[in-house]
Amino acid sequence: MSEQLKSLFLSSQDFFRANPGKATATFSVTSSGDGALHRQVKIREFILDIDEPQNLGGTNKGPNPVEMALASLATCQEISYHLHAAALGIPLKEVSVTLEGTLDLRGFFAVDDETRPGFTGIRGTVKFDSTASREELMALKESVDHSCPVMDLFRNRTPVEIAF
């Protein structure tokens, strides 16, 4: 599998270096619901249930949006680790990421205009099943943290326009 990932990664690098105009990809989702807080998100051919826990007014039919944001970061990191490890020739059998984020709910419930509604901090750990040296894993981590699209979303402002 790592040889396939390495080939995919390196051939993609070569292609996008030679064709920068073809490097843009657009992803889309559609969300709607059948109740106030329970939502269904269509992503390609997949339907995901998103909801709030009962103590926040939901029916607990799925993870909530901030849990999905953490899941997006964790899985994007894991996928990036596998791709970058293969490309760099770093042995990686498996990787797992555990994250937790803290919210001050006064921001979400508009209690205090000075309180951010988003995460005030995210903490986590990465566990590797690898025979690589600590130095190789540190180089891999730097490569992944620099290239992970969802990490970039958390670290940098992204222009957002939502019209009605």
**61-83 residue pLDDT tens:** 999 999 999 999 999 999 999 99
Average pLDDT, the chain: 95
Report pLDDT for 74: 98
Residue 86: exposure state from Cβ atoms within 10 A (0-12, 13-18, ≥19)? buried
**Cβ-based neighbours of 17, under 8 Å, separated by 6 or more:** none
Q: Is the pTM of this model over 0.85?
A: yes
Contact 51, 59 (CB under 8 A): yes
Report pLDDT for 1: 72
Report pLDDT for 163: 95
- Give the separation between CA 127 and CA 143, rounded to whole angstroms: 16
Per-residue CA distances from 48 to 45, 67, 74 (Å): 10, 13, 17
Mean pLDDT of 88-96: 97
- % the chain with pLDDT above 70: 100
Query: Residue 34 pLDDT > 80, yes or no?
Result: no
pLDDT interval class at 2 (50, 70, 90): confident
CA count, 13 A, side-chain hemisphere, 53: 3
Report pLDDT digits (tens) over 109-131.
Answer: 999 999 999 999 999 999 999 99
- Give the separation between CA 145 and CA 3, rounded to whole angstroms: 22
Query: Residue 35 pLDDT > 80, yes or no?
Result: no
Residue 80: exposure state from Cβ atoms within 10 A (0-12, 13-18, ≥19)? buried
E strand or H helix that includes residue 113: none
Beta-bridge partner residues of 129: 94
